Amino acid sequence: MQTSTYQALKINQNTQTSIQDVLVVEAALQININDEPYTVVMRTPDNDKALIRGFLFAEDIYKSDKTLIFEVVEEENEIPTIINVTISKEILGKGYLNKRTLLSVSSCGICGKKELKDINVEGEKLTQTTTFSSTILHEMFLKMNSFQHTFKNSGGSHAAALFNKNHEFLTVKEDIGRHNAVDKVIGDLLIKDYLKHAKYLLVSGRVSYEIVSKAFIAKIPIIVAVSACSSLAVDFAKEFGICLIGFTREQKMTIYSNPSFVEKTKSYV
């Protein structure tokens, strides 16, 4: 259940009307690892396995290609509230040691991090292997938008979508949290053993450092956003070899890093 109906009072100038409004659901999910609480995330229910899979991958807790064992420990109104993941201690990544001690809210990608060094991301800079025309991005966003059913109903969710090098659609997920949506699409392709084909990450909102770091860990070289990019997101993208594009609307865009990815066409801005 990604949306729920609430009663509200709508005021328009001098008139007021009682309405039933559709809201995006925000609910807590406790993630246990080997029957011990690890963190609590605020998310939109649905695709919880993909969310957890992507989260564990980005946090350097589990990067094996073996199938994970998920168990719903508790649920409320058929919505999971606690899910346990069983991972052999021999293959637990070092990220497990950075155990989150605080609530990770839907708008925060660093909540619960203990030290500043915990936000660092290590790895070799991505190498450029493709170029693309800016005109293709509009078509890709139209494809993503066609799957944003929760947003169309509520106006309150974000979306993330992945495409391959031929601009072919791979997956899309929605969530109240931007980084949750990214975890969901990455997790979805991890479960399907298809992440290596993802080359474009499209996001419906702004881009902060945590989305860039998730893309880098997943080896996705191109991030395209509808909205703004933060200063740290741009710094990370430059360091990681990622082409970062913001304000992609109405045939316009702003390229913040590695513009050599984009072919200069008539529509290039």
Binding site listing: 247-252
> In whole angstroms, what separates CA 148 from the centre of its chain?
14
* Alpha-carbon distances of 59 from 29, 159, 259, rounded to whole Å: 17, 21, 29
Phi-psi region of 241 (alpha: psi -120 to 50; beta: other; left: phi over 0): left
Residue in this structure with the two tokens 């001690």, named with its chain if needed:
101
CA distance 3 to 23: 5
Q: Point out the residues that are catalytic.
A: 108
Coil, strand or helix at 131: coil
CA distance 28 to 22: 19
* Alpha-carbon distances of 66 from 141, 183, 185, 217, rounded to whole Å: 32, 18, 18, 18
What are 39's strand-pairing partners?
31
- Token pair, residue 245, equals 């594009």
Would you call 70 exposed, middle or buried from its count of C-beta atoms within 10 A (0-12, 13-18, 19+)? middle
